[in-house]
Structure formats: structure tokens, C-alpha cells
Amino acid sequence: MSYSVKREKEDRPVKKLLRILLTLSVLLTGCASNSSVPTPGQVQNNPLDKEWTTILSEAKGTTVNFYMWGGDERTNTWVDAVVASSMLKEYGVKVNRVPMGPDEYLNKLIGEKQANKQEGSIDLVWINGENFRTARQANLLWGPFADKVPNYQNYVDKTAPDIANDFGFPVEGYEVPYGKAQFVFASDTTKVKNPPKSSAELLEWLKKHPGRFTYPELPDFTGSVFVRQLMYELCGGYQAFPYTEQVNKATLNKQLQPLWDYLGAAKGYLWRQGKTYPSSIAALHQLFADGEVDITMSYNPAIFSGMIEQGLLPNSVRTNLWNNGTIGNTHFLAIPFNAANKNGALALADFMLSPEAQLSKYEPKNWGDLISLDVNKLDPQSLKDLEGINPGIATLSTEELQTHRLPEISAAYIPVIEELWKEQVIQSGQ
Amino acid sequence: MDRSKALGHIVLVSILLVLILPFLVLIIWSFSQGWASNALLPNEFGLRGWRYLFSQQSRMLSSLGMSILISLVVTGFGMILSIPAGKALGLYIFPGKRLIELLVLAPTIIPTIAVGMGIQIAFIRYGLADTLLGVILVHLPLVLPYGIRIFASIYKALGTKWEDQAKILKANGWQRFWFTSLPFLYPGMISAGVLMFNVSFSQYFLTYLIGGGKIMTLPILLFPFVNSGDRVMASGLSLIFILSSLILMLIIERVITDSEEKTNVYYL
Amino acid sequence: MVSRDSLKAYLYLTPALSVILIFFLGGFILAFIQSLGYFPAIGQEDLTFKYYREVLNKPEFFKSLSYTFYIALLSTTIATVSGTFLAYYLLRTSVKKSFIAFLYKFPIAVPHLVVALMIVFILSQGGILSRLLLKGGLISDTASFPAFFYTQNALGIILIYIWKEIPFVTFMVYTVMRNIHTKLGEAAQNLKASPGQVFFHVILPLSMPSIISASALVFAYSFGAFEVPYLLGATYPKTMPVWAYLNFISADLSARPIAMVINMIVSLVCAVSIFIYYLSAKKYLRKWS
């Protein structure tokens, strides 16, 4: 008791100094300033109240800042060449691709929210999963806008579970589906005759080929899905992880014990004995291309056909699934709460959901991303065009992918699994 | 004696090798089309990287332009601010000099990550984030220590005798600066200019944090390629980076100097 | 009464100092305030040291600190020792001045990012050197080539730093040594001192301030650097700046003050290293002036 009183007294001069610094910081950050309080014009200008034709005519001549991860040359080129030129031609809107991934742009939006900045720099983002959940919970997104987008109304199966929910989290019109992805493994058929097709086969293969396999360290997107893939096999499938908003770390840890046992048993047979992991999926692909590992993986089932075409990988690389299926997901487009050009963002989102854009995106030489539209709603010509597209030498057929697709679990699990992985796999073994 | 001479040659040649050899690898990579995992040389050469880099989509040229613009403006203002500051520290004795000398050094001591993460929120608040002005303003303090140190030591060596002489001849302040001090400052201006330019030209973290991906400079363009491992692109872009930096260094030297004797005072 | 000269000096200094104070130290002060948990966006306005306690109690803290220390200290030591000897060596050989100019201007134009790329090309397990050794039959497979990247020994990161830092140290020391050499070296040689004696008893002690100052700058840089360890560091532990950044971009807002606390610790270490330099440089100056 007396101790705490004494402490408080000692703290006083320190506190005084802190108050002074605080005042200084208020001056610097201008927390009391009203420089960015919205003007009446901005508030009234809500596109949700307007006709679609008005939105388009107001969007004409503007620039849309589209924030997306920028590490893939083909995706970048597709957006810059195909999307940007069509948008300019068809909508009169300029598209400015900004290469920035979700971690960073969410952080930026949080900063803008903190500074009460009403006219932000981001108009449209490429997003899904736990990032969408974070953004929704922190009120970083504008909407619901999906029903305003004509191509969403015309071509999307709104009630499909993988469209209405994003990693189990209800979409509620705050994002529109941009494309679909499914987890695949890849290996060079000249080196790996029978690639493992289950967690048990993988462990067996590892024991025969020590040091020839690894996965990206979490929280890398692909590394994270690989661990969930194992988790599905070892801990009772996705059914064992029902939708939830609150995850109890200790309970989940107990539930995941078979996973930790497996990873513990596998560790010594991984690349560099599992003492370190490639920092990103790109680093793993590089190890694969350099011949340091024999198997790689991706959340984009067509990426390897593209890499073969570019000469980055030999012709003999093929993809495969696991017998019990692999995880698939949908990725989306969303508009930030303070997007300065919401009209333009809506126009771009509409174009992205058009059969024209979706088919072009599906071309393996462009990107190879699976389409997010309902095939039954396509007009006959688009359907014919779709069937005419060759998915690429190393890509599995759409039927095979579809019949092996497993849903994602709810986003709330993911940060907790990533944290547990760090504790159980990385820190405990040091 | 011969033995030490031979040893000397070995040392110099190996220094050159360590400096030059990596660039050969960079050049080979930038022209490779396919490179099997065990081969010593690419099995196919091609122009995929260069064609992409010089296409409209890569935005290489616009980023290069942006980089040059930012670095030149930063160098120019850095020069204007650090010459008088260097003069004050080189010639005068005044209360608080020690403290000010320390403050001037601060940008070389405190890591930019701490400053960048701290200041981001204020820059967003005042509309400086994502702007050219904002990026220039965060680059500027980073280059000042180099300029101020160089000019301070030049003024210290110069003393006041030349300006005093000019005063007797009734030259005004500007004339004194222009005709007496400036010629002595030339060599320092070259070194300071080159250093300032490169500090700004190669800055990644602050440009990324404050420019928010919208202010595209060469390092911002390069980073994702190094990170994602597209080695062909990364190599080509790196070569463009180094080449433009070297050319601009040469230009800065030519623009500033017209005296025959170039004293290099890069690191004082 | 402040003298006219002092006023003049303050006037000359004001523009440069304002820029440093507002746009550099201002950012630092804001980082400090945020490290105390001041974060109005999530309703936190009370100042507290609890985030400092939290960071100090994390199991990563000590590992990360020592990992960062190890990288900075080892690269600084190697760069300082080889840079100093190289400077003296260049001083005594009759190489052309333009060659020396090339040696130190060239590395300035190459940013760390590019150095990292080049050294990865050469020294990774799939790199040129490993392929050469494999072809020459000296190793049986690429996995037996020593690992330089993504490892806890951080050898690749250290090599990248010293590639940039040796030229820096060399020429910071070289300029000073040249002056000393012309003034004192000849006198010493006339007294029939051996080159080794001249170096260890005259040149080295007199260039000590510049050697220490170069190494302090190099240490502060490599301790606070972000890009290279972010790209090539081990999975665990992360260097302090990378650890700070990962907390900064975390979607979990409560991690922001943690990032700022780590930033403060990094800054403190850098400041202390410069302070030690300052003290030792003063000691040397007093001894030799």
C-alpha cells in the first residue's frame, strides 16, 4: 500500500514532463485541428443515392487508385495493360495501380482513420479473409455497395456460400467477388515421380528425401494455408472448426495437438532441418527454381503454367491436389471508408466483374485466376469463349479443381493459428 | 620487396574483383530467359526483362524521373540550408554550440525507422502523406548532416581572413559570398552534392512509408521484385539504378566544378 | 547580452535546424509519445510504461536484441579493421588517385538493396559459387553448401553490410591518414622507425578519432537498418527494426505502441554507441594534442 503511494509521488515529475510532451504532440499531430472535417458537399455526394448512369458520368475523367499486392509481374501487367486500357476506353476512367499489400494498406487506412482524414488516397482494394474481417471490424470499409454494381447483379450467384461469406465472415455487400483460388502443390515430374497426396504420404516422402521440402513462414498467406491444409487432414477436417467470432487460444491449441505433433515429427526432414523457413511464397518459388527443394505450392492453380511459359520453370513441372481435397477461397474487391473517388471505384469494380475482364483474367498467359461469376448466368458467347480457353500445360481441369475444393474456416481462427504456430513450431524448438 | 609488390597486386586485383564481379552476374541475369537449376550459365538468353522494363506498364521511366526529381530538389535545398549552417559551425563560437552540433548529427544516429513510423500519423493529418512534398520533407533532414559537416570543415580551414579582406574592399554580403567564399566551397559542394544525392536516391523506407506507394521512385519499384524473386526484372532494374546514379554523379561533378583541382572531401 | 556573431550564427543555423527539429526529431518525439500508449484512435489517452514492461518481458526481446547486436557488432568490427588496414595500404602504394576515387565513389552509387541481390546471386545455396563447387565436384549437392541467408548466423547480411561499409571506413580514415602521413610520417621515418612502428605508434593513434567515428556511424547504421534483414533474415529471431515494423503493420492496433517501444530501444542503443564514440574520441584527442 505505502509502496504504491510512494511510487505515485516519484512518478509525478515524470508525468509532468510527459504532459508537456503530450501537448507538443497534440500540436504536431493536430488532434484538435479541423482541417479534415468533411465539407457538406462530400457528405451529400453519396453514390449509393445515385443512378448508375449518374455514377458513370461522374466517374468519367477521374483516376482510380487501385491498391494491390505488387510482387507478380503478370498480374501487374494485366491490370496495367488490359484493365487500364479498357477502363479508359469504355468508362473514360484512368486506373492507377499502387503496389501495396493488405498489411500495409490496412495500416495506412487505420492511420487515416486515426487522423480523421475524410479524403483518403485509396479508392479500391484487393482483399479477403482475415484482412476483410479486420477492416470490417475497424470500420475501414464503405458500403454496402455490391448491389449497386450491375455486373454483380447480372452475373454473380449472390447466395453461394463462398460468395456470401469470406472465410466464413458475412460479406454483407461490403465487397464484390474478384476471382477464385485453390491451393495446389507443384513438382518437377522428372524428379518427383509420385508426388505425395496426403499428409501421411508427405511425411513418408520427407523421410525418404530429407531437406527437399519446406513451406513459407507464417503469416505468409500461402504458408498459412498449407498449415490449415495439414490441420484439415489431422484435426478432423473443416467441420471440426465451426464458424465463430471468438477463439479461445488454449482450447484451440489442445485441438491442434495432432498438427503440432506432425510438424514436430516432420521438422528434422525439412529444408535446413526446419531451423528457418523461406520468408514468403516468392522465396519458396525461388528455392524451387534453384533446385534447392523439390516441391512447391501456390494458392493460384494456374501460376505454374505461366511460369513455364516465361521460362522461369522447366516444361516438366506439374501441379497436383491432395486426395481429400485442398482449400479454395474467393478474393474480393472493396472500397475504403474514405475513398475520394467512390464513383470511379464502383466503375472499376463493375468492369472487373464483367465477363470480358473475367475471361481475360482466366487466360493463363494473363494471370490464370479462376472466374468468380456464375457460369450458368453467362451468355452463350462468353460461355463458348470460356470453354475455348486452354488453362495451361501445368494447370488441372476446372472440374478436377471443383470436385476437390474445401472451404476456408472462419477468419477469426487464422491469427490465432499463426500465433500458435510461432510458439509451437518456431520458439519452442530454439 | 618483389614479394610485397606481388602481394599488393593481389590485394588490389581482389578488391576490384569483389567490386566488379557481382555486376557481371547482374548483367547475365538481366538477359537470361531460362536458367536451369544446376547450370552455370542460362540455357537461353532473351530480352523479357528489358522489354518489360522499357514498356509503358513497368513505369520504370516515370519512376526514374520521379527519383531524379526528388533527389535533385533534396540536394538543392540541402545545399542551400547546409552552407550557412556549416558557416555558423565552422566560424563562430556561440552558446549552445555543442548541443547544436549533436542535433545536426541526429539524423545519422537515430534510425529512420523510428522517425518514419512516428511521423507517419502527423503527415497523414496534415495532408503531406502520399505527396511529393511530403517525401521531399522527410528526405531533407537525412542529407543535412553530410552537407553541414563538409561545409563546416571547409569554413574552419578557410577562416575569416578572405571575407575580412573583402569587407575592407567594401563588398556587400552577397558579393563577399559569391566572389570570395564560393570558389573555396566548390570542392565541398561536389562531395556534399554527390553524397546528398545518393542518400536521397537510394532511400526506400521513408519514401515507402510517407509516399504510401503513390510516389513511385526506383527503390519502391525495385523492392517488390527483389522480394518476390523475379531475378530477371530485379537485375535489369538494379543495373538501371546503378547506371543512372553514376551518370548523375558525373553530371553533378561537371555542373559544380570548373576549377582544375578537385579535392575530394567525401568523408570528413 | 548575446554577441553579434552569436546572433549571426543562430540566424545561419535556423533554417537547417528547423528542418531537422520538425521533420526528424519531431517524428522521434511522436514515436516516443506513441510508445507510452497515447493513441486516441482507440480511445487510449493515458500515458503508461506498460508497453515497455511488455516488450522487456517478451521471450523474443532478448533474442532479437542480441541477434541485432551480433550482426551490427560483427559487421562493424570487420569493416573497421579491414578498412583501416586498407587505408594505410593505399596510402603506401603508388596507385593512381583516380583509381582510389573510383574505389570509393563506386560503392556509394550502389544501394543496399542491389548489394543484397548481387550477394544472394553469388552466395545462396542455388547461387553461382555453389554451382561452381558442384560442377567441380567439391560438394555433392547444393544443400551441403553453407547457408548464408535466412539463417541465425546472418553471414549473408553481414557480408552485404561490409561490402558497403569497408569503402566507407577506408576513405573516412584514408583522408585523415593522408594528412598525418605527410606531416608526421616522414619525420618518423627520418628517425629510422620501421613502417610497422610508424603505423602502430604514430599513424594509428592519431587517426583513432576518425576510425572510431567511422565505426560508430557504421554501427548505428547497421543496428537500425531495415531492408536487408527484412528480406534475408532468419525466421526467428527477427532483428529489432524488422520486429518493430512487423508490429507496426499488424492489423491489431494494440501492437502499435509495441512497435514504438522497440523503436525507442533501437534509438537508445544507437545513441549510446555514438556517445561512447564521443567519449573515446575526446580521450584520444586529449592524449595526443
Domain boundaries in chain A?
41-178+330-390, 182-328+408-427
**Alpha-helical segments (H) within A63-181:** 73-77, 84-90, 102-114, 129-137, 150-155, 161-164
- CB proximity C125 to A under 8 Å: yes
Decide if B212 and A98 are in contact by the 8 Å CB cutoff. yes
Mean pLDDT of C120-149: 84
Task: Please name the residues in contact with C183: beta carbons below 8 A apart, sequence gap of 6 or more.
Answer: none
* Whole-Å CA distances, A65 to A72, A223, A243, A348, A376: 18, 29, 34, 10, 32
Last residue of a domain, one of B9, B29, B46: B46
Question: Which candidate, A101, B106, B206, A284, places its Cα nearest to that of C226?
Answer: B206
* Fold classified for A182-328+408-427: D-Maltodextrin-Binding Protein; domain 2 (3.40.190)
Chain C adjacent subunits, 3+ CB pairs under 8 A: A, B
Interchain contact C154–A (C-beta under 8 A) = no
Q: Is residue B142 part of a domain?
A: yes
| Distance between CA atoms of residues A276 and A285, nearest Å | 16
Interface touch C24/B115, C-beta < 8 Å: yes
Burial A244-279 (b: 16+ CB within 10 A, else e): eeeeeeeebbeebeebbebbeebeebbbbebbbbbb
Task: Show which of residues 19-78 on chain A sit within 8 Å of chain B, judged by CB atoms.
Answer: 28-31, 33, 35-36, 65, 67, 70-73, 76-77
Residue A28 touches chain C, beta carbons under 8 Å: yes
| pLDDT per position as a tens digit, B141-176 | 999 999 998 899 888 888 777 777 777 777 777 777
Based on the domain organization, do B193 and B78 belong to the same domain? yes
Residue B58 has pLDDT above 80, yes or no: no
Q: Are B54 and B34 contained in the same domain?
A: no
- Domain of residue B191, residue span: 50-256
Residues B9 and B117 in one domain: no
Average pLDDT, chain B: 84
Distance from CA of C175 to the nearest CA of A (A): 41
Q: How many domains does chain B fold into?
A: 2
How many angstroms separate the CA atoms of A247 and A428, rounded? Answer: 22
Q: How many domains does chain C have?
A: 2
Q: Tell me whether A217 touches chain C (CB under 8 Å).
A: yes
- Of A20-24, A150-154, C3-7, C177-181, the range with the highest mean pLDDT is A150-154
Interchain CB distance below 8 Å, C135 and B40: yes
Residue of C nearest to B91 (CA): C9
Among the ranges given (A163-177, B221-235, C110-124), the one the predictor scored with the smallest mean pLDDT? B221-235
Nearest chain C CA: its distance from B122 CA (Å): 8
Which tens digit of pLDDT belongs to each residue from B101-123? Answer: 889 989 988 999 999 999 998 89
pLDDT of residue C276: 83
**The predicted structure's pLDDT at residue B268:** 39
- C120: domain CATH number is 1.10.3720.10
Question: Do A282 and B125 make contact, defined as CB atoms within 8 angstroms?
Answer: no
Domains A41-178+330-390 and A182-328+408-427 share a fold: yes
Q: Please tell me whether residues B16 and B115 are part of one structural domain.
A: no
DSSP label of A148: G
Across the interface, whether the CB atoms of B126 and A280 are under 8 A apart is answered no
Residue C157 shares a structural domain with residue C114: yes
Write down the mean pLDDT value for chain C: 86
For residue C56, what pLDDT is reported? 93
Residues B114 and B168 reside in one and the same domain: yes
CA atoms within 13 A on the CB side of B166: 16
**Is B268 a domain residue?**
no
C9 and C107 housed in the same domain: no
Q: Which of B65, B74, B31, B29 is nearest to B244 (CA)?
A: B65
B56 pLDDT higher than 50? yes
Which of B256-265, C182-191, C237-246 has maximum average pLDDT?
C237-246
The top-level CATH class assigned to A41-178+330-390 is alpha beta
Other C-beta atoms closer than 10 Å to the C-beta of C284 total: 17
The half-sphere exposure of A391 on its side-chain side, counting CA atoms within 13 A, is 19
> Do the chains contact at C263 and B117, CB–CB below 8 Å?
yes
Could you list the pLDDT tens digit for every one of the 430 residues in chain A? 334 444 444 445 555 555 666 565 555 554 444 444 444 334 446 888 888 999 999 999 999 999 998 767 778 889 988 999 999 999 999 999 988 888 889 988 988 887 788 888 899 999 988 889 889 988 899 989 999 999 999 999 998 888 998 888 899 999 999 999 899 999 999 999 899 999 999 999 999 999 999 999 988 889 999 999 999 999 988 888 888 888 888 999 999 999 999 999 999 999 988 888 988 888 898 889 888 899 999 988 888 988 888 778 888 999 999 999 999 989 999 999 999 999 999 999 999 999 999 999 998 888 888 889 988 888 888 888 888 888 888 888 878 888 888 888 888 898 899 989 988 888 775 4
ipTM of this predicted structure: 0.87
Shared-domain flag, residues C25 and C144 = no
Same domain, yes or no, for C176 and C282?
A: yes
Q: Would you say residue C228 lies in a domain?
A: yes
Cα separation of the two ends of chain C: 33
Mutate to test the interface with C, among A128, A133, A276 (most CBs of C within 10 A): A276
Interface test with chain B among A27, A78, A98, by most B beta carbons within 10 Å = A98
From chain B, the residues in CB contact with C5 under 8 A are: 92-94
Listed in sequence order, the residues at least 6 apart from A381 whose beta carbon sits closer than 8 Å to its beta carbon are: none
C24 and C63 share one domain: no
The reply to whether C136 and C14 lie within a common domain is no
A316 touches chain B (CB under 8 A): no
Nearest alpha carbon to residue B216 among B227, B228, B226, B204? B204
Whether residue C42 lies inside any domain: the answer is no
Comparing alpha-carbon positions, the chain C residue that sits nearest to B140 is C19
Chains contacting B with at least 3 CB pairs below 8 Å?
Answer: A, C
Distance from CA of B56 to the nearest CA of C (A): 23
Same domain, B25 and B92: no
Q: State whether C93 and B8 contact (CB < 8 Å).
A: yes
Question: The domain containing residue C129 runs over which residues?
Answer: 50-288
Within 8 A of C114 by CB-CB distance, chain B residues are 26, 222, 238, 241-242
Q: Is residue B209 part of a domain?
A: yes
Residue among A355, A73, A134, C216 nearest B49 (CA): A73
Q: Does residue A44 sit at the C interface (CB-CB below 8 Å)? A: no
Enumerate the residues of chain C whose CB falls inside 8 A of the CB of residue A277: 150, 235
- Neighbouring residues of B259: CB distance < 8 A, sequence distance ≥ 6: B183, B186, B187
CA angle A169, A396, A224 (to 5 degrees): 40
